[in-house]
Structure 1
Amino acid sequence: MELDHIFIFTHQAQQVATALQSFGLSEGTANVHPGQGTACRRFFFQNAYIELVWVINEDEIKHSEIKRANLWERSQYEFTNYCPFGFCFRTEQPSDHAIRLVFEDGWRYYSVYLPQGQFANIASNEAFPVEPMLFEMPFFGLAPKDYPQQKRQPLTHANGFQELTKVTITLPPVNDLSSAMKKVLHESILHSSQGNTYLVTLEFDDGKQGQQQNFTPLIPLVISW
């Protein structure tokens, strides 16, 4: 399973983006999710990207088709205890026009901002609020370094980061995990640990330099390299 991007809900997108820029990351284009009630700022790397997501339309995020994914609850994680993270995976499709899905028990989200007939396949783990949102984009299998010219994003960063090589998500203690989460932990670069608060640690370039930057409490994010 190839990780495509990570989203983190925040109420301080401007401050977080500024902190990441000061840290040495080059920002890509921002984005809005029509009908979903969210917007994002993005930072791209060779094989994946990070989204800082916030709510711009409370009515849409609460009442649209995406409601099942608990995005509103995730955006208010300080009060709801829902996980504020999401992980999207990209999948290469067979050439015979069949659709091969990673999350076989998932549900299809046909967004107005996706081309007609295309959808995001969202894992059915909504009964596990401490888990991140897990989903895949079956019709877009390119890493940022392979984007066509019209979609190219800045991939050169002052601190030299190239690839995201490991992701560790800290979750509150739970008795069990969903089948989708178990699959992700077994087949991707995502790992999990237990702790008192949510945290995601992103390791770049195999952590060869042995350094780390902690962005909490501004956002539950640690970057190591």
Structure 2
Amino acid sequence: MILSSPPVNTDPFLLEIDHLVIYTAEPIAAVSMLQELGLHSSSQTLRRNNQGTASTIFFFENIYLEIVWIEDYQKVQHYRTQTNIDILSRVNWKQTGASPFAIGLRQTTSLSRLPYGDDDNGISQRLNVNGWVNFASDNLATLSEPICYSISNLMALTTWLDNSSEEHQQLITHPLNIKKLTDLQITLTQHNLLTQAVSLLESHNLVSINRGTAPQLDLTFDHHQQGQYIDVRPILPLVLKY
């Protein structure tokens, strides 16, 4: 369970974006679309049996994007009972109005790389460690905004990513030639007051929160140097700028 993990320092100045999650009911179409648009994904499907979910991951130099879907509805319901995280509503966001996003945060300093393998299987072992630490319990129950949580150093991208590794270079190299996330904007569809967790991230410029008629994740890479724009909607509520 999330709250059983060792505590992580949540001083906002010590946190940065580690990864972003989009929950989807159309995983095949979503992953295929991103690949066709020029993003390279890990070949290993990551399964979190305790959640009843599976995912495909797209790695970049400073974050990764995880596309998550449901494989076992019974486990998803059990996970909700245990953690108050309603994955089913987020996957079915078009019907429920829930935010289909989650934000994983890491400490800005991390431990040295630990001895997992460099291939997709080794990376999956690391990311499947049960190391989430939620720092705002009210955020878990607020479906109108993204789930926010910090993770242990063991799971952080900066802990295991080795730029000198050929296998890792293959993971973060994309036909679109995009490298680093430089701006993050999230559109919410409801005008409720933000929980402290999301307000904290916004006030320290980790994310910009917009209001609109549909949820949307706007990711800007490399300060939009190429001047390009890709709209992945309606398959995913995602816009890429690079």
| TM-score normalised per structure 1 | 0.82
Matched residue, 2:204: 187
Deviates more, 1:129-138 or 1:64-73: 64-73
**Counterpart pick for 2:37 among 15, 23, 27:** 23
Q: How many residues are paired up? A: 205
Give the 5 Å matches for 1:1-225.
1-28=15-42, 29-64=44-79, 67-91=83-107, 113-114=128-129, 119-122=131-134, 123-124=136-137, 125-140=139-154, 141-143=156-158, 145-146=161-162, 152=168, 154-225=171-242
SS of the aligned residue for 1:154 comes to helix
The C-alpha deviation readout for 1:83-137, integer Å capped at 9, x for no partner, is 1100101125799xxxxxxxxxxxxxxxxx42xxx63112321342211011111
Structure 1: gaps of 5 or more residues = 96-112
Task: State the distance in 2 between where 1:148 and 1:69 align.
Answer: 37
Please say if residues 9 and 74 of structure 1, whose CA atoms lie closer than 8 Å, have aligned partners that are also in contact. yes
Could you list the runs of 4 or more consecutive aligned residues of structure 1 that deviate by over 4 angstroms after TM superposition? 92-95, 147-151
When residues 204 and 11 of structure 1 are mapped into structure 2, their CA distance, relative to the original with a 3 A threshold, is same
When residues 214 and 180 of structure 1 are mapped into structure 2, their CA distance, relative to the original with a 3 A threshold, is same
| TM-score normalised per structure 2 | 0.77
Task: State the distance in 1 between where 2:110 and 2:176 align.
Answer: 37
SS of the aligned residue for 1:192 comes to strand
The C-alpha deviation readout for 1:158-202, integer Å capped at 9, x for no partner, is 111010111110101414111101111122531111100111011
When residues 221 and 178 of structure 1 are mapped into structure 2, their CA distance, relative to the original with a 3 A threshold, is same
Matched residue, 1:102: none
Task: State the distance in 1 between where 2:104 and 2:144 align.
Answer: 17
Root-mean-square deviation over aligned CA pairs = 2.4
1:218 Cα deviation after fit:
0.8
1:59 partner amino acid: Q
1:120 partner amino acid: W
Task: State the distance in 1 between where 2:64 and 2:46 align.
Answer: 13
Task: State the distance in 2 between where 1:206 and 1:93 align.
Answer: 23
Task: State the distance in 2 between where 1:66 and 1:26 align.
Answer: 34
1:121 partner amino acid: V
Task: State the distance in 2 between where 1:19 and 1:119 align.
Answer: 30
Task: State the distance in 2 between where 1:128 and 1:12 align.
Answer: 23
SS of the aligned residue for 2:198 comes to helix
1:17 Cα deviation after fit:
1.5
1:203 partner amino acid: T
Task: State the distance in 1 between where 2:204 and 2:167 align.
Answer: 28
